[in-house]
Structure 1
Amino acid sequence: MDHDNVLRTKLDQLECHFTWALKKDDVDLNRLDEQLKLDVERKENLTQTYNALAYVKFLQGFQEEALSNLMTSLKLYKECHEEEFNKSLIITYGNLAWINYHMKSYTECESYLQKVLKINESMSSESSSVPEVLGEKGWTFRRFSYKYYEKSKECFKKALDLEPEVGRWNAGYAIPLYRTEYGEFTIENSPVIKQLRRAIETNPDNDVLKVLLALRLVTYKSYEEAERLVEQALERSPDHPRVLRYAGRFFSNKGRVDQGIALLRNALELSPNSSFIHHQLALCYKKKKIELLQEGNHRARAHEVQLIRDKIIDHLEMATKHATGFISAMSDLALHYGEENDVSRAEEMFQVTFQTAKENKDNLHVVHFHYAEFQLYSKRDEVLAIKHYMECLKMNPGSYEGKRSVYKLKNIAEKRINKNTQVGKAYGILGFIHKEKGEKRQAIECYEKALRYGDNDEYLTNLCALKLSI
């Protein structure tokens, strides 16, 4: 085995960003770059932030910048610690070994490999079981992509099992748990509420955790405690972008949309390139638009509605500009182009969004839902709308869009039945909804009704399959 292969074998055994199977296609590197730079500006988790930023620069092809960021990470660490061979440096030294290998600086690469080896020799366990390594690995997975949330949870849980009282691991575990827990729980047995409370207990100065707990408490109608937590977080951290943006979402969800917009605008001043904040502002203005339309007298309010629609489009365009591949923002933007009667632009945007969502395997059900809305309201094509609502429901029945698709499909079906128009197809739609929800007997009943109104091979096939499965 030649020298290069021996070196590569040693590198593959390291615990660092280069060996954690972080795929370039799973993340919007520009967006992550901006998020990490925001952490640098706010001095949050600086050593691990520079480590992650270095790997992003490597993926972008900027090896010199990657090396510079790693040296900054090392410098920051040494300013805070006297020990040169502390286990916290396993990841930084590992990354330095890898980047020097890619830059063909083999002597430097071997030097950093020796430093990792010296740290490993001083420990009683494998580096993959070191809490500091597990913690940074979990933080990196959480930062890089929602696709890695389960891996992030797993890392923080292992770190917690080893050091249950450490605040960093409690906070680290709470956040991916918050992102992934959507089961049927009560306020008493919800794992994420329990973990967020524990995380706040061990991190009393972390106001982001308080606002996240408030957002989850609202789903259980615990409004008083939730609002108290948000007010406390805003009082303590009035200029923290994440506190402001989550608080803005909190008040918007409570129906206090103007208060939510004001907070999000403050957050935007601190993070003008945040695609998340632009998207949240667009969602707030959408609520204002819907409220105005529900009040009636559309002609008198047309100018006001148009001004709000302009703001929605502006913020969605900024969200998609600062985060390429932001599927929900892209499809919502296409839908609003349709509202503006710019049908060709909307169609073009939808096709790009469909392609991006398929390539990235990301939120395709959201695109189907918005495209169904576009077909129904902008193009008046109910047949195509039904097709795409069904696709959305099949892909993700438990999502907001999946549930809205059920609502829209039921509306279409019930209107047809009430008007005695295309009744067979209406019962076919209802049969499809029951089938997707696992309600086999109700589905059979609807498909049998559909068949009474005329032969349809699709209904017959579904009916036979359902009867055989019971």
Structure 2
Amino acid sequence: LSSGSSALLSRLQQLQCHFTWDLKKEDVDLENLSTRLQEHIKLQLGQRGAVTRSYSYLAYVRYSFLSEEALSLLNQSEETIRESYGDESERRLIVTYGDMAWLKYHTGDYAQSQSYCQRVEDILVCTAPVHPAKVYGEQAWTYLKFSRSSLSKAIDCFCKALEVQTHDSEWNAGYAIALFRTEQVKSPAITQLRLALEINPDDAVLQSMLAVKLGAYKEYQEAEELLNKALKTDPDNPHVNRYIGKHFRNQVGLSGDSSSIDMLERALKRADQSPFIHHQLALCYKMKKIADSNLTLISCPTGAVRYWRRRCIHHLKVAVEIRPSFVLALTDLAQLYAEQRDLSRAEEIFQQCLKLAESEKSLFQTVHQRYGDFFFFNKKTEAEAIAHYTQVSWALLLPPCKYEWRQCAKRLKQIADRRLTKTRRDGQALALLGLVARAEGDRKKAAEFYEEALNCDEDNEEYLCAVCELRLELQ
């Protein structure tokens, strides 16, 4: 680099924008993110800042494919910001101008890049100290939409924005949505959703999200009231229909009610490229299939079960066509193929999921648990099932509330207990019980199981190491 371009690059690195926020593109499906952002713009979803934010974010995503398109999107972002905020627009252009400076730099237009850097610096001088909240808020929304792995960063940035602008409706709403997506047992999302709704009481998306959370805590009356408000406020918003459909799916269970299907079908009419809605619909049809399977022996013909399975497979296939990296939908699809005894096709999809889970660690356990079930129930190969249930030593060291943890522990106990009914000299079965006991926090019981396993297999280093570690922990 020349001294001039080197100085410019140093100046660019000081900017706060998509190019400097360490967005790891390998963590996300860029095509899927691009589709979602385009839908947000097309449907004008969210508060007034949401569309302008989507333009600049989409520009960053599309820059990877076509710089001319990215430039056009950034111009649209600036135009929309000026239309929406008027005299207040300058402070909201910090991120857009930062992106523009980087884009001009990458296309070799150093003079224009310098110009946009100067614009940002001028805005910062004029708008301090309000500008940190605007930047933190924009950064938080970016992390929130980017990938699940950046959720903690989104929460942190929303908190920083709210320290400066406590009652800002966009930051409060974003913070509530970020908390909603966490899986804590006692979620703080309910408190934050209520606060966000106090500031913006007519936000139908927040109403529907709060209803989902309240339903999970069996506060059904308030949840139903919020659902009615959301439907009255914005009945055609696909996000509203998505969350309401999820609420009905969670509450209906196996009763066979069609409310969630109707709601999600309505959402699909406005957002037919949403893999999430297709997946939710598939799960609804899966519930119908299970409900009819339970009735088959009484009155329901098996044809109904096959029909619901076909509907389920159809929507799962569409979901993964739109988003090929949609691991949960892929594992659901693999399980259905296994039901149909198409085992080779199911195993091929599970292998694909294992590769995807290497980069999406939050789903690593889900894939191994479901793949283990495939071997346990469908292929009847116990050794492979055990290998997946115990994949790496921390496979069971998840919070005990996690569904995957409970399922792995349950299956391993089933396998071990069955084998020990035949003989108490089964070292592997005893070691499995030791692993589960250790994961459950019962070190004393775990040590006893491993010692008994070691008596069966005196040269087993794994059992010996486990005994030594547990005895040290018990001292």
TM norm structure 2: 0.90
Q: Check if 1:109 corresponds to 2:106.
A: no
Paired residue secondary structure (1:104): coil
User: Pick from 71, 74, 85: which aligns with 1:67?
Assistant: 71
Partner AA of 2:25 in structure 1: K
Contact 2:396 2:408 in 1 (8 A): no
Q: Check if 1:433 corresponds to 2:436.
A: yes
Aligned to 2:62: 57
Contact 1:120 1:126 in 2 (8 A): no
Aligned to 1:205: 202
Cα–Cα, structure 1 residues 452 and 284, in superposed 2: closer, same or farther, change >3 Å? farther
Matches within 5 A, 1:243-322: 243-255=240-252, 257-295=257-295, 297=297, 301-322=301-322
Q: Gaps spanning 5+ residues in structure 2: where? A: none
User: Pick from 159, 177, 180: which aligns with 1:178?
Assistant: 180
Contact 2:316 2:333 in 1 (8 A): yes
Counterpart CA distance in 2 for 1:68 and 1:388 is: 48
Counterpart CA distance in 1 for 2:322 and 2:397 is: 28
Counterpart CA distance in 1 for 2:424 and 2:296 is: 29
Cα–Cα, structure 1 residues 176 and 137, in superposed 2: closer, same or farther, change >3 Å? same
Counterpart CA distance in 2 for 1:455 and 1:277 is: 54
Partner AA of 1:47 in structure 2: T
User: Pick from 158, 161, 164: which aligns with 1:162?
Assistant: 164
Cα–Cα, structure 1 residues 298 and 436, in superposed 2: closer, same or farther, change >3 Å? farther
Contact 1:327 1:362 in 2 (8 A): no
Cα–Cα, structure 1 residues 349 and 100, in superposed 2: closer, same or farther, change >3 Å? same
Q: Gaps spanning 5+ residues in structure 1: where? A: none
Partner AA of 1:55 in structure 2: Y
Partner AA of 1:132 in structure 2: K
Paired residue secondary structure (2:379): coil
Q: Which string of whole-angstrom CA distances, capped at 9 and with x for unpartnered residues, describes residues 241-288 of structure 1? A: 111111111111112552111211111111111110111112222222
Counterpart CA distance in 2 for 1:200 and 1:419 is: 60
Partner AA of 1:173 in structure 2: Y
Q: Which piece of structure 1 moves more, 266-275 or 417-426?
A: 417-426
User: Pick from 187, 190, 193: which aligns with 1:196?
Assistant: 193
Q: Which string of whole-angstrom CA distances, capped at 9 and with x for unpartnered residues, describes residues 398-455 of structure 1? A: 4322222223323333444556688654443222111122221221233345456665
Counterpart CA distance in 2 for 1:447 and 1:339 is: 37
Counterpart CA distance in 2 for 1:84 and 1:249 is: 38
Aligned to 1:364: 364
Counterpart CA distance in 1 for 2:177 and 2:166 is: 16
Matches within 5 A, 1:126-141: 127=131, 130-141=132-143
Aligned to 1:406: 409
Partner AA of 2:143 in structure 1: F
Cα–Cα, structure 1 residues 221 and 81, in superposed 2: closer, same or farther, change >3 Å? closer
RMSD of aligned C-alpha atoms? 2.4
Counterpart CA distance in 1 for 2:214 and 2:222 is: 8
Partner AA of 1:40 in structure 2: I
Question: Displacement, 1:381?
Answer: 0.8
Partner AA of 2:226 in structure 1: L
Aligned to 1:118: 122
Question: Displacement, 1:325?
Answer: 1.1
Contact 1:54 1:67 in 2 (8 A): yes
Contact 1:252 1:258 in 2 (8 A): no
Cα–Cα, structure 1 residues 423 and 192, in superposed 2: closer, same or farther, change >3 Å? same
Counterpart CA distance in 2 for 1:263 and 1:146 is: 26
Counterpart CA distance in 2 for 1:80 and 1:251 is: 36
Contact 2:130 2:164 in 1 (8 A): no
Cα–Cα, structure 1 residues 289 and 431, in superposed 2: closer, same or farther, change >3 Å? farther
Aligned to 1:30: 31
Counterpart CA distance in 2 for 1:240 and 1:201 is: 21
Q: Which piece of structure 1 moves more, 214-223 or 62-71?
A: 214-223
Q: Which string of whole-angstrom CA distances, capped at 9 and with x for unpartnered residues, describes residues 329-374 of structure 1? A: 1222222222221222222222222112214445121111111111
Aligned to 2:147: 145
Partner AA of 1:358 in structure 2: E
Counterpart CA distance in 2 for 1:467 and 1:325 is: 43
User: Pick from 235, 242, 247: which aligns with 2:239?
Assistant: 242
Counterpart CA distance in 2 for 1:411 and 1:402 is: 14
Question: Displacement, 1:234?
Answer: 1.9
Counterpart CA distance in 1 for 2:380 and 2:102 is: 56
Aligned to 1:98: 102
Counterpart CA distance in 1 for 2:116 and 2:146 is: 25
Counterpart CA distance in 1 for 2:258 and 2:397 is: 34
Contact 2:27 2:359 in 1 (8 A): no
Contact 2:368 2:388 in 1 (8 A): yes
Paired residue secondary structure (2:341): coil
- Number of aligned residues: 462
Cα–Cα, structure 1 residues 84 and 168, in superposed 2: closer, same or farther, change >3 Å? closer
Cα–Cα, structure 1 residues 441 and 99, in superposed 2: closer, same or farther, change >3 Å? same
Cα–Cα, structure 1 residues 176 and 269, in superposed 2: closer, same or farther, change >3 Å? same
Cα–Cα, structure 1 residues 245 and 22, in superposed 2: closer, same or farther, change >3 Å? same
